Amino acid sequence: MKRNAFGELLTVEEVAEMLRRTPAALRYQIHMGTAPKSAIIMGRRMFRREDVEAHIAAAFEGVA
């Protein structure tokens, strides 16, 4: 986990573990546009922890 001025950055593997998915399933979600926001930084796909947590929270909004 890498912390900097932009928040904690997570790798595909770390986010997949948080979402209880395989890295391949997360890559498919990225391809389909249904994954948390991410960016390619220095050749690696990275996610901000806050974006992943917001993505998870949004999934529970409106769920009874």
Classify residue 40 by its DSSP letter.
Answer: E
**Total-model pTM:** 0.86
pLDDT digits (tens, 9 = 90+) for 4-45: 667 899 999 999 999 999 999 999 999 999 999 999 999 999
Domains of the chain: total: 1
Which residue in 34, 32, 36 sits closest to 56, CA to CA?
A: 36
- pLDDT of 1 > 90? The answer is no
Contact 36, 47 (CB under 8 A): yes
**pLDDT score recorded for residue 27:** 98
Q: Which domain holds residue 43?
A: 2-60
Instruction: Say which CATH number the domain at 43 has.
Output: 1.10.1660
